[in-house]
Structure 1
Amino acid sequence: MWMPTAECGMRTRFTPGPTEVPEAVREAMAAEQPNPDVEAAFAERYEAVCGKLATVYGTDHDVVVPGGEGILGLEAAIASLVAPGDRVLCVSNGLYGDGFADFVESYGGEATVVSAPYDEGYDLAAVDDALETAAAEGSPIEVATLVHCETPTGTLNDIGPVLDRLEDHDVVSVVDAVSALGGTPVPTDRIDVCLGASQKCFSAPPGLTTAAISDRAWDRMTERDPASLYTNFLPWRDVSEGFPYTHLSANVAALDAALDLLLEEGLESVFDRHERAARRCRERGREIGIEIYPDPERASPTVTAFHLPGEAESIRDRVEADHDVVLATGLGDLSSEILRIGHMGYNADVEKVDRVMDAVEAVVE
């Protein structure tokens, strides 16, 4: 069974992805690999990885694993589903939610962005209004995007009410679940394209996108016949005759090993471990006297963001220089406001959290 253990004498990296990679996963990646273009052993491993991912996703949808960091999945979802002129609803309260609209516009779609402040939940009334207005105008929303866990702010969004509304309006849903999958339950079977990546809660090296895709989403992609090869999920639907391009065989081996560790431990145990680590991190923060961003009730079990206006970057730098602990700050306008601690995957461990928070406490005080 995989359980996190201390690795004495090594730098402690507690960023919200890429995460620390267990030794067994590193060894799998370093092993001799089959040629992904010609050897059946690679295709067999890829098929096994997709099956294990389906268990983690908790879905009967098809699962595919293209070669490319997680952002590839976000762009490929739009490139595969959105044709010029298509109306797309982008529900956002964070950086990645906003970013979906950029992808929509770059592929010629018409993005309707329903924004909420980064420290608040989704604006459901505005979602209703956008869907109903578009339908009344005779040009209904066809695709919608949302983010389960906004990693830059540590926010776990309640996506269920939005999915309810999308189902009522027959809208194809795309969900960025990159920093939620493997750390907290995700309602994948209610989602048409559910996106993940290797370097977050799976604790494998960066380099692979994962996606669970519904039959309805496949049908829409087929109708649109996207021109791109790389930012296109369709070539991955059936790889029995070969892969669209040379796959990252070592990365697939690493993800395979990481999934074995996760499934051996058991998903419920994994989720509980993440909850315990998050709870301990926030308890220590309260003891130190630093506030959680945004609302503790909406904080993700995979990452904690502490609100340290004007101090986040200097604290991060001092923690690294004085204690050899690597943390992350916020992104964009929040880079000097938020200190982020990624207790996800291999680092979702109370003892590790305590060591990290000891370092933070020493610097803050």
Structure 2
Amino acid sequence: MRRISPRYLLEFDEPAGYLDFARFGPPSHAVLDTTATLLHRATTAGPSTVDELMRQEVRAKAAVSRLSGSDTDHIVLLPHTSLGLFQAAFNAPGGEVLVAASEFPANTYPWARAEQAGRLTVRRLESGYVTPERVAEALTPSTSMVAVSAVDYRTGYLADLAALREVVGDRLLVVDGIQAFGVTEAPWEAADVLVAGGQKWLRAGWGTGFAVVSDRALERMDPVLSGWTGARDPGLFDDEIHPPENTAAAWSLSNLSPVTSGAFAAALELLEQAGVGAISARVAERIGELEEMLLSLGAEIVSSVERRAGILAFSLPDHPAERVGSALTAAGVTSTVRPEHVRFSPHATTPPEAAELVRSVLKGLARPSGSRPVPPAVTTHEVLAALVPAIPGLAAMIGPGNEVVLHDLSRLPDSIIAIGGELTGRGLGGPMTDLLLGLVRRGTTQDLTNYRTHGPDGRPIRSSTLFLRDADGVAVGALCVNSVDTAAAVDGNGELETFPPDVDSLQRFLVERAIGRAGIPVDLMKKQHKAAVVRELDEAGFFLIKDSVDHLAGRLEVTRYTIYNYLNEIRA
């Protein structure tokens, strides 16, 4: 197996803690340089400029054909995966399509919309791995197509495309390959329609993608979504509507930007040079290192282990995913945080030290599975523990009208472990403010000094928040100093901040504020209004609070699963 080329590694500059390629893969210098070159060529346009630029489409198609094992007549360039799947759904031969209910929305909405339009009927496969055995049991005489993701975005499960091909038989097999193409070797020829966007593992940037369409699909599908570039003789302007081309070009609505096509070609050619096998092996190595480290900290691997590509999802017992994600973000580790787990997806360019970087963040949160909880004084980080006895004395030294508060970020949201003074009416075990909670949620652990706010009684306050870090630079706590601002008038100016006396009060305040900003009563809210409330609360750190999902579900009069669905859509 070929080792990864050092020249390939030099093409990328993402930080060591970037572990989110299943969401977005930072493009290479080759992509950036190609984009700049083609744009420069466009700015100095001459008689042949447009024709020369349009040849980039052929270059990109050729690269796709080599990587997919097809040919350019069966390939069409597309701006994203969703368009290819909508094409497959609306061009479908009718009958019934079998698709898993747990698919990423890009692979469910096209089929649902096509069903609305009367083009086909949707049959849903219940949640779980899409295995050949489950598909075989679900097939009916009416099933004309099966749609599946090559790699499941939640579990990282790598579908057995060859076995699915055998089970599906003469029916059409539609494959969403965005989480697999370029990061794992697979029998792509098994798919009748293979669609993939280029912004993730292909590292080509947004606005890039392709579809590979088999002869069987071309024969059976009716390309109703076909534009002038998908017609026969597209350059013949005779005031007639031409029939669709008999190749994959029939799926074209218009030309992809030639600059985008060139950038896409550069990314694919770089992938070819490195070799998918070499990239896959390197990714597997990094996944193995991360998995071993997570297991040593008592984490539970919740993604697929036997069949997987580049996705590793985990949970830490007794530590909500939100809290784990916030700690990672604060340390410069980029991951995807779901309500129930955290997802890592490294690439071949991820360095070996990434696992140790993650370990340094999580070791303060995790404890071996099955161990008994230890007293708070022991679990408090040593940096914070050393400050606890000094807080009352520090407050006394500053004098009346002041308050000094020490927060432990591993105990969100009821994080106060020491307090001196009574300016805001809080005590030990009390929560942080809504302002500080939002900063922690967004990973914005930068010191705030001398900002104006208002206390619970309306008095003007001057506040400062200093984040305390461990030896690795990870924020573990916050030291806050609040002082009555005797020189200021009570005029309503200053940073909006709330000092709730307990977690329940904080929870109620955040929900009421979000609902108020929606501007519509709950009983009149539609989905978009409730989703907007969830989005604001997510950004505010509301879901770091224990049982927050259940509380919000009751307030919005929906189920807890609806809240999780909103969160998945928001964070997708």
Matches within 5 A, 1:155-194: 155-167=157-169, 170-194=170-194
Q: Which residue of 2 aligns with 1:26?
A: 32
Residue 311 of structure 1 deviates from its aligned partner by: 1.6
Q: Is the 8 A contact 1:114 1:123 kept in 2?
A: no
Letter in 1 for 2:287: A
Q: Deviations over 1:148-175 (max 9, x none)?
A: 10123322222333221112xx101101
Give a deviation string over 1:29-63, Cα, whole Å, max 9, x none: 23333669972223322112111111222334722
Distance (Å, rounded) in 2 between the aligned partners of 1:248 and 1:8: 26
Deviation at 1:198, TM superposition (A): 0.5
In the other structure, the counterpart of 2:19 is 14
Distance 1:356 1:101, change over 3 A: farther
Name the SS for the 1:255 alignment partner: helix
SS at match of 2:54: helix
Q: Check if 1:283 corresponds to 2:292.
A: yes
- Counterpart position of 2:8: 3
Q: What SS does the aligned partner of 2:23 have?
A: coil
Q: Tell me if the contact between 1:64 and 1:236 (Cα under 8 Å) persists in the aligned partners.
A: no
2:135 is aligned to 127
Distance 2:193 2:13 in 1: 40
Q: CA deviation at 1:244?
A: 4.0
| Structure 2 equivalent of residue 105 of structure 1 | 115
Equivalent residue letter for 1:261 = L
**What's the TM-score, normalizing by structure 2?**
0.53
Aligned counterpart, 1:332: none
Which structure has the greater CA radius of gyration? 2
Q: Hey, what's the Cα distance between the residues in 2 that align with 1:189 and 1:9?
A: 33
How is 1:315-334 mapped onto 2 (pairs within 5 angstroms)? 315-321=324-330, 323-329=331-337
2: CA distance between counterparts of 1:8 and 1:46? 27
The answer as to whether partners of 2:283 and 2:346 remain within 8 angstroms in 1 is yes
2:306 match: secondary structure: helix
- For residue 196 of structure 1, report the CA deviation from its aligned partner: 1.0
Match of 1:353, SS state, is helix
Match of residue 510 from structure 2: none
Structure 1 residue aligned with 2:340: 337
Instruction: Confirm or deny: 8 A CA contact 1:280 1:350 kept in the other structure.
Output: no
Separation in structure 2 between the aligned mates of residue 249 and residue 268 of structure 1, nearest angstrom: 29
Residues 76 and 210, structure 2, Cα contact 8 Å, conserved in 1: yes
Gaps spanning 5+ residues in structure 2: where? 232-243, 367-572
SS at match of 1:152: coil
Q: CA offset at residue 180 of structure 1? A: 0.3
Q: Mapping of 1:205-354 within 5 angstroms?
A: 205-221=205-221, 224-227=222-225, 229=227, 237=247, 244-298=253-307, 300-308=308-316, 311-321=320-330, 323-329=331-337, 335-344=338-347, 347=349, 349-351=350-352, 353-354=354-355
Q: Determine the C-alpha separation between the residues in 2 that align with 1:337 and 1:43.
A: 46
Give 2:150's match in structure 1, choosing from 148, 159, 168: 148
Q: In structure 1, how many angstroms separate the alpha carbons of the residues matched to 2:270 and 2:205?
A: 15
Q: For 1:279 and 1:102, how far apart are their aligned partners in 2?
A: 38
What is the rounded CA distance, in whole Å, between the counterparts of 2:255 and 2:303 in structure 1? 42
Whether the 8 Å contact between 2:76 and 2:212 is mirrored in structure 1 is yes
Where do residues 54-73 of structure 1 align in structure 2 (5 Å cutoff)?
54-60=65-71, 62-66=74-78, 68-73=79-84
Between the aligned partners of 2:19 and 2:340, the Cα distance in structure 1 is 18
* Conserved 8 A contact 1:276-1:350: no
Q: Deviations over 1:169-223 (max 9, x none)?
A: x1011011111001111211111001111012111112122111111111223xx
1:40/1:358 CA distance change after superposition, 3 Å: farther
For 2:293 and 2:10, how far apart are their aligned partners in 1? 20
Count of residues in Structure 1 that have an aligned counterpart in Structure 2 = 337
Letter in 2 for 1:200: K
Q: Secondary structure at the match of 2:301?
A: strand
Deviates more, 1:200-209 or 1:31-40: 31-40
- Check the 8 A contact 1:229/1:235 in 2, yes or no: no
Deviation at 1:141, TM superposition (A): 1.5
Change (3 A) 1:28 1:363: farther
Q: How much has 1:352 moved relative to structure 2?
A: 5.7
Q: Is the 1:89–1:112 Cα contact (8 Å) retained in structure 2?
A: yes
Note closer, same or farther for the CA distance 1:69–1:364 as it changes in structure 2 (3 Å cut): farther
Distance of aligned partners of 1:94 and 1:53 in 2 relative to their CA distance in 1, 3 Å threshold: same
Check the 8 A contact 2:199/2:205 in 1, yes or no: yes
The structure-2 alpha-carbon separation of the partners of 1:78 and 1:31, relative to structure 1 and needing over 3 Å to count, comes to same
For the Cα contact (< 8 Å) 2:302–2:315, is it kept in 1? yes
Q: Distance in 1 between matches of 2:146 and 2:266?
A: 34
- Whether the 8 Å contact between 2:74 and 2:249 is mirrored in structure 1 is no
Alpha-carbon contact 1:19-1:200 (below 8 Å) kept: yes
Distance, in Å, in 1 between the alignment partners of 2:70 and 2:183 is 16
Structure 1 39/363 Cα, relative in aligned 2: closer, same or farther at 3 Å? farther
The answer to whether the 8 Å contact 1:72/1:209 transfers is no
Cα distance change on mapping 1:7 and 1:18 into 2, 3 Å: closer
Distance 1:317 1:190, change over 3 A: same
Match of 2:398 in 1: none
Secondary structure in structure 1 of the residue aligned to 2:91: helix
Q: After superposition, what is the alpha-carbon deviation per residue over 1:306-364, rounded to whole angstroms, capped at 9, x for unaligned?
A: 1347621222222112x1222112xxxxx2111111213x54x3426335524543563
1:227-256 Cα offsets, whole Å, 9 max, x none, are 4649x996794769xx74242233222222
Q: Distance in 2 between matches of 1:250 and 1:286?
A: 45
Q: Which has the higher contact order (CA 8 A, sep 6+)?
A: 1
* 3-state secondary structure, aligned to 1:64: strand
Amino acid at match of 1:65: L
Q: Secondary structure at the match of 1:156?
A: coil
The TM-score, its normalising length taken from structure 1, stands at: 0.80
Please give the alpha-carbon distance, in whole angstroms, between the structure 1 residues aligned to 2:357 and 2:202: 21
Structure 2: how far apart are the matches of 1:239 and 1:41?
20
What percentage of aligned pairs have identical amino acids? 20
Which residue, 63, 70, 88 being the options, matches 1:77?
88
1:252 to 1:225, Cα distance in 2 relative to 1, 3 A: closer
